[in-house]
Amino acid sequence: MIKGYLVNNAHKYASKWLVLLIDVCMIAVSFVLSYIIRFNLTLDFDIDKLIIQLPIISLISMSSFVFTGSHKGVVRHTGVRDVYNIFNAICLSSILLISMVLFNRELGVFENFTVPLGIIIIHSLLSFVALTSSRYVFKSLYNNFMARDFKVNKNVLIYGAGESGILTQNALVNHTKSRVRVVGYVDEDLKKVGKQINGVKVFHKEILTKDFILKNSISEVIFSIQNIDPKDLKILVEGLVDFPVQVKIVPPVEQWINGELKVSQIKQIQIEDLLDRAPISIKNSKISEEVKNKVVLVTGGAGSIGSEIVRQVCTYDYKSLIIIDQAESALYDLQQELKQNGFHNFIPIVGDVRDKNRLNNLFQEHRPNIVFHAAAYKHVPLMEYNSYEAIKINIAGTKVVADLSMANNVDKFILISTDKAVNPTNVMGATKRIAEMYVSCMQQEGRTKFITTRFGNVLGSNGSVIPLFKKQIEKGGPLTVTHAEVTRFFMTIPEASQLVLEAGAMGDGGEIFIFDMGESVKIFDLAKNMIKLSGLKYPEEIDIKISGLRPGEKLYEELLANGENTLPTYHKKIMISKTRELDYTLVRSKIDELCVSNMFFNGSTVSLMKEIVPEFISSNSELCSLDKISSKDTKSISLKKVL
């Protein structure tokens, strides 16, 4: 009967007034019991006085409950906070009752109204125990009779026996739509191992074996450690991906809803969580000082890196922010996002960096002090046989923005480059290297400081490998990897953008800043881990297909060209590349020739690019025929050759 009532009313919550009425009734019963206990379990006391006192006691208790709000909690989710509210209500009612008794003794407002101190103490203790116990009894009945009808039991392990782990257990146990049994905590702290928290044993991480997981029928391992080092997390997760368990993670505290963890926020761990980098800590950052009261212009401002630069600049005290992008929809989305976040001092402009007249008007109208040039084509296979467009935007577009920056006395011009510009094997990388060279030439011309930043792939950017793998997994596979040994560097978008801002602030002009990309990641291993983290088996359920290197693609990316070394800066993740000397006059004239040739669809543009960048040796491409010497010979020559 009880079970049927609970199941039928599972979606309802008891009225707070009903809870208040029940609490007051329990107070009245406790008051009668306190008299019986005080008089040695007999009725040898004045019952008439008791009858007079009961309504007053009930009224005082009701006032205390309403004042503290102890009746407003959801009984089925009773926790420490609810017990604390009950304690406050009992203390308040006891104080009011004692005050009333003492006041009545002096003034005699209520004839024969007095309650012995012993009765008040016994009543307070009984009331607290009764109210607390009743809530936990109902909660237990609810969990045992009703919750089982929602979902099948599942056993979980919580990795982390700290505050976050305890809150995770509470969230799981109190969740109405699942029946979860926490088998244990896992922790590396030997002081905690072997002890119990909320009745749950703490194990050492050595128990995370396949036998233990199968023996205890564990279906989930939840990582609940705040600020865990990504490298440590990667090692721990990789030790579990071959086991028949789902691996989940608790988000950072700042992402909890109103400071409280919800079960819905405990998500299956993603590959980004393992590739994520430790948070950047920049002491004495120069960014705030650099952009204060300045007009900042960002080209490609709706792209992956450009939009994040915009978001971060918005947090500083700039004068105005000009955002240029030719992608109308992406720019509109960014505009709405910034407005919703309370940022208003920005100007979104739909425009093309190749349109010199349009950009010239913008420069003269807004007079930017700092320019971040992020607009570029970046997809290697597409640009390999679309060299006209690659040259037009990556080189000619950079040339337009750089020339206008110089002509309008911009303080700093920061070029966003790529590791594919290093010893390029494709058209896209070569165009970015030529853009770097043009910026170096412009540094020799005037007061504008031209700065280049160079880094590798960013996690989650448009067209990157991880979103591609996710789509392939959703379709049932296979995952396509170009080569079993291919590796790539990865960096988060916020980290890359913050380092761009920091490098721009510290630059004095002429530098190529190299970012510490950490260790390179083997893409084949990345694909396998993504399959396993999705709860699927490799290769039984989803396989990996080797598709072959795409045109212009490298096996390994580099951050330094032959003959380049680095110098340290005050930030350990930012280094300065010691580049080779350039014949600036010759290089600039060649770049001008390239841009003019490209305007007339001259078929010799790629050959001209190879003249400007001798280390540009095509790979796995039809353009290899343009390389007149073998890559082996070129490599030995490029070590000696000075541009």
93-110 pLDDT per residue, tens: 888 888 887 777 776 666
The arithmetic mean of pLDDT across residues 276-293, rounded, is 70
291-626 shares the fold of 150-269? yes
Residue 52 C-beta-side C-alpha neighbours within 13 Å: 10
R_g (Cα) of the chain, nearest Å? 35
The shares of helix, strand and coil residues in the chain, as percent rounded to the nearest 5, are 50, 15, 35
Q: Where are the alpha helices (DSSP H) in 39-116?
A: 47-68, 80-107
Q: What is the pLDDT of residue 559?
A: 63
pLDDT category at 356 given cuts 50, 70, 90 is very high
Cα–Cα distance list, 3 to 18, 148, 149, 199, 430 (Å):
20, 11, 10, 26, 72
Cα–Cα distance list, 473 to 44, 276, 406, 511, 572 (Å):
78, 21, 48, 42, 37
pLDDT of residue 479 exceeding 60, the answer is yes
Note the pTM of the prediction, 2 decimals: 0.67
The arithmetic mean of pLDDT across residues 549-574, rounded, is 71
pLDDT category at 79 given cuts 50, 70, 90 is low
Domain ranges in the chain are: 2-147, 150-269, 291-626
pLDDT of residue 630 exceeding 70, the answer is no
pLDDT of residue 627 exceeding 90, the answer is no
CA gap 215, 212 in Å, rounded: 5
The arithmetic mean of pLDDT across residues 77-101, rounded, is 80
291-626: in CATH 3.40.50.720 = yes
Active site residues: 420
Which carries the bigger pLDDT value, residue 480 or residue 245? 480
Q: What is the pLDDT of residue 643?
A: 27
Which positions ≥6 away from 99 have C-beta within 8 Å?
A: none
pLDDT of residue 560 exceeding 70, the answer is no
Q: What is the pLDDT of residue 2?
A: 44
Mean pLDDT check: name the lowest of 11-15, 20-24, 541-545: 11-15
pLDDT cut 90: percent of the chain above it: 19
Bridge-based pairing of strands 154-159 and 180-186 is parallel
Exposure letters 35-50 (e unless 16+ CB within 10 A, then b): beebeeeeeeeeeeeb
Q: Which of 420, 401, 570, 597 is nearest to 499 (CA)?
A: 570
pLDDT of residue 239 exceeding 50, the answer is yes
Q: What is the pLDDT of residue 636?
A: 37
Exposure letters 402-421 (e unless 16+ CB within 10 A, then b): bbbbbebebbbbbbbbbbbb
Amino acid found at 606? V
The arithmetic mean of pLDDT across residues 591-618, rounded, is 87
pLDDT in tens, 361-409: 999 999 999 999 999 998 888 898 888 999 999 999 999 999 999 999 9
Which carries the bigger pLDDT value, residue 338 or residue 487? 338
Average pLDDT across the chain, whole number: 81
Which token pair is 398? Answer: 């950079």
The arithmetic mean of pLDDT across residues 611-622, rounded, is 86
Q: What is the pLDDT of residue 322?
A: 95
Q: Is 238 exposed, middle or buried (0-12, 13-18, 19+ CB in 10 A)?
A: middle
pLDDT in tens, 315-349: 888 899 999 999 999 999 999 999 998 888 899 99
pLDDT of residue 273 exceeding 50, the answer is yes
Q: What is the pLDDT of residue 101?
A: 79
480-481-482-485 Cα dihedral, nearest 10 degrees: -160
pLDDT of residue 632 exceeding 70, the answer is no
Task: Specify the CATH number for 150-269; select among 3.40.190.10, 3.30.1600.10, 3.90.340.10, 3.40.50.720.
Answer: 3.40.50.720
Cα–Cα distance list, 432 to 28, 375, 380, 402 (Å):
82, 11, 11, 14
The arithmetic mean of pLDDT across residues 22-41, rounded, is 84
